[in-house]
Amino acid sequence: MDIPAYKKTVLGNGAVLITETMADVRSVAMGIVVGTGSGHEVEQHAGISHFIEHMAFKGTKKRTAFDIASEFDAVGGRMNASTGKELTTYYAVTQDKHMDVAVDVLSDIFLNSVYDEKEMELEKGVIVEEIKMYEDTPDELIHDLFTEVIYHGHPLGRPTIGSEKSVRSITRDDIINYTKELYTPDNTIIALAGNVEHEDALKLIEPAFSAMHGKLPPRKKHAPTLMKAEKLKHKKTEQVHMCLGTDGPSQRSEDRYAFSVLDIILGASMSSRLFQEIREKRGMAYAIYSYNGALKDCGLYVVYAGTSKENFPKVVDLTIAEFNKVKKHGITKAEMERSKEHIKGSLVLGLESTASRMGYLARCLFYYGKIITVDEMFREIDKVSHDDIINVANKYIRDEYLTLTAIGDITQKELPKV
pLDDT band (50, 70, 90) for residue 1:
very low
CB-count exposure of residue 399 (10 Å: 0-12, 13-18, 19+):
exposed
| 285: helix, strand or coil | strand
Give the closest residue to 207 by CA, choosing from 363, 15, 8, 22: 15
What gap in Å lies between CA 351 and CA 357, rounded to an integer? Answer: 6
CB-count exposure of residue 117 (10 Å: 0-12, 13-18, 19+):
exposed
pLDDT digits (tens, 9 = 90+) for 78-89: 999 999 999 999
Give the closest residue to 160 by CA, choosing from 250, 87, 80: 87
377: pLDDT strictly greater than 80: yes
What gap in Å lies between CA 322 and CA 332, rounded to an integer? Answer: 14
pLDDT digits (tens, 9 = 90+) for 264-305: 999 999 999 999 999 999 999 999 999 999 999 999 999 999
pLDDT band (50, 70, 90) for residue 219:
confident
Dihedrals phi, psi of 163, to nearest 5 degrees:
-120, 165
Task: Provide CB contacts within 8 A for 116, sequence distance 6+.
Answer: 58, 59
DSSP for 193-218?
A: EES--HHHHHHHHHHHTTT----PPP
Mean of all residue pLDDT scores within the chain: 96
pLDDT digits (tens, 9 = 90+) for 160-207: 999 999 999 999 999 999 999 999 999 999 999 999 999 999 999 999
pLDDT band (50, 70, 90) for residue 2:
low
Q: What is the pLDDT of residue 4?
A: 55
Q: What is the pLDDT of residue 151?
A: 96
Share of the chain above pLDDT 70, in %: 99
Cβ count near 68 (within 10 Å): 21
Across the range 216-238, mean pLDDT stands at 91
What gap in Å lies between CA 122 and CA 144, rounded to an integer? Answer: 26
pLDDT band (50, 70, 90) for residue 221:
confident
Q: What is the pTM of this model?
A: 0.95
What gap in Å lies between CA 134 and CA 145, rounded to an integer? Answer: 12
Torsional sign, CA 348, 351, 357, 360: negative
| Four-point Cα dihedral 39, 41, 43, 49, nearest 10 | -100
| 364: helix, strand or coil | helix
DSSP for 71-107?
A: HHHTTT-EEEEEE-SS-EEEEEEEEGGGHHHHHHHHH
Q: What is the pLDDT of residue 223?
A: 83
CATH homologous superfamily of 6-208 equals: Metalloenzyme, LuxS/M16 peptidase-like (3.30.830.10)
Enumerate the β-bridge partners of residue 232.
Answer: 406
pLDDT band (50, 70, 90) for residue 144:
very high
Is 341 labeled as catalytic in the residue annotation?
A: no
Catalytic residue (choose from 20, 41, 43, 53): 53
pLDDT digits (tens, 9 = 90+) for 317-376: 999 999 999 999 999 999 999 999 999 999 999 999 999 999 999 999 999 999 999 999
Across the range 13-27, mean pLDDT stands at 96
Indicate the domain borders of the chain: 6-208, 230-414
Q: Which amino acid is at 180?
A: K
6-208 and 230-414 in the same fold: yes
CB-count exposure of residue 367 (10 Å: 0-12, 13-18, 19+):
middle
Q: What is the pLDDT of residue 54?
A: 97
116-123 long-range contacts, CB within 8 A, separation 24+? 116/58, 116/59, 117/172, 119/55, 119/58, 119/59, 119/65, 120/55, 120/170, 120/172, 120/175, 123/51, 123/54, 123/55, 123/58
pLDDT digits (tens, 9 = 90+) for 119-140: 999 999 999 999 999 999 999 9
Give the closest residue to 23 by CA, choosing from 47, 4, 46, 1: 4
3: pLDDT strictly greater than 90: no
User: Which CATH entry fits the domain spanning 230-414: 3.30.1370.100, 3.20.20.140, 1.20.1250.20, 3.30.830.10?
Assistant: 3.30.830.10
CA atoms within 13 A on the CB side of 389: 29
pLDDT band (50, 70, 90) for residue 220:
confident
